[in-house]
Amino acid sequence: MPLPTGDIVGLMVDNLEKRGSVFPLSAKKATRWAEGLEIPHGGRTVLYTGSMYQLLPYIIAMVRLLGRVEDTFLARWLFMGRFANRFVNLSAIGARPSRADIDRYNQILRSIARLLQQAGVEFGYLYEDDLYAGALAYDMGVDGALRTHANRVHATLRKHGVQRVITLDPHTTNMLRSVYPTMIDGFDVEVKSYLEVLAEAGAEPLQRIDEDVVIHDSCLYARSEGVIDEPRRLLERAGYTVKEPRDSRNLTYCCGGPIEALFPSKSHAVAVQRVEQLREVGGKQVTTMCPMCLASLGKAADGTVPMEDISVFLDRAYRAEPADATDESDVGARLPDPSYEGS
């Protein structure tokens, strides 16, 4: 039987109301990526992760679990999971992400922070107060729980005197820039994606990367937030030749990610279609600009198409200092990524 939509949406809402995120993550895990980067606490301008990149390894693990349950008799017992989750954080117990996924997504965050530092942008970080923005609750239509949560986020930003946030992913950008102003009276925080900030800053790359890269636009960036030219400008300025798939820019094709938790098979089928479009361009590698796209398309590509977040491609061109010991800047060498089907 298919997964029970009401129980899964309910579980996410319970988590949002009780634990502040649809997939709760400890502050320690959510902020580990920033260790050693010496990003100041707070400030009028902050880098706002909304925990999206940090959450992805846990979402990947959870989706893998749900994918095994889908269309089996176990699906009908998921309501028990929702009941138990009210008392124990099952998301933390049930979803066991691979170390490789955690390192990979934390590395993307480090790349983004370094790019901004390199471009001379001054910013702080709210650390344990960098709260999830509620994108999944919005998608599911649970506006009552979302409004309560959004007010909590707004109060936290006000407490820290934040006037401007630099977002890292399209979902958090969309929530803070386009959704919150419709839900919260007086929400006047300026919101920009780091891609927009970098493009405006006009930073010059320190080395030219003479490679081609196939670009996958995020639906939200392209159709809701108008972030289309910035990633192309940044890549081209770094020396990359940007190759466009058949469905591109404002007509980009979805990665399937938004329904991964509810309908894993259908989500995967959409991702496979998109990977085929990206593959037929014939480029060396693919770049994404959303953590959900990267996870969804990466799983569908199953290692056959080198794929990485745009920040990692840019970091190779703009980075001044040598890579961290844990850094992997050669995208092609990092894939195929065995972690997707591992652990």
Partner 1 sequence: MAAVQVDLEFAEAVATSDEFNAWACLNCGICSAVCPLAIDLMPRRLFRYAILGLKDQVLEETDTIFQCLLCKLCEENCTSNVHIAENVRFLRSYIDDEVFGLDAGRSKEEPYAAAHR
Q: Which residues bind partner 1 (CB under 8 A)?
A: 2, 5-6, 9-10, 13, 17, 138-147, 219, 223-224, 250-254, 256, 258-259, 262-263, 266, 270, 273-274
For partner 1, the closer CB: 43 or 50: 50
Q: How far is the CB of 249 from partner 1 (least distance, A)?
A: 10
- Which residue from 188, 255, 179 is spatially nearest to 224, judged by alpha carbons? 179
Please name the amino acid found at residue 10.
G
Q: Identify which of 293, 242, 288 has the alpha carbon closest to the alpha carbon of residue 267.
A: 293
- Nearest approach in angstroms of CB 120 to partner 1 is 35
Query: In the 8-state DSSP scheme, what is residue 19?
Result: H
Amino acid identity of 95?
A
Q: Of 241 and 277, which has the nearer Cβ to partner 1?
A: 277
| Complex with partner 1: residue 50 or 256, whichever CB lies closer | 256
Smallest distance from partner 1 to CB 270, Å: 5
**Alpha-carbon distances of 333 from 133, 336, 343, rounded to whole Å:** 34, 8, 21
First to last CA, the chain: 26
Nearer to partner 1 by C-beta: 147 or 232? Answer: 147
Cβ proximity to partner 1, 252 vs 287, nearer residue: 252
Q: Say how far apart CA 96 and CA 101 lie, in whole Å.
A: 11
Q: Least Å distance between CB 217 and partner 1?
A: 11
Residue 107 C-beta: closest distance to partner 1, Å: 27
Minimum Å distance from CB 162 to partner 1?
26
C-beta of 51: minimal distance to partner 1 in Å? 20
SS (H, E, C) 218-235: CHHHHHHCCCCHHHHHHH
Instruction: Tell which residue, 236, 195, 240, has the closest CA to residue 213.
Output: 240
Q: Which residues, 6+ apart, have CB-to-CB distance to 133 below 8 Å?
A: 50, 52, 150, 153, 171, 172, 175, 176, 180
Nearest residue to 314 via CA among 199, 174, 192, 167? 199
Structure-block tokens of residue 22? 């649809």
Under DSSP, is residue 35 helix (H, G, I), strand (E, B) or coil?
coil
Nearer to partner 1, 33 or 138 (CB): 138
Choice between 34 and 297, CB closer to partner 1: 297
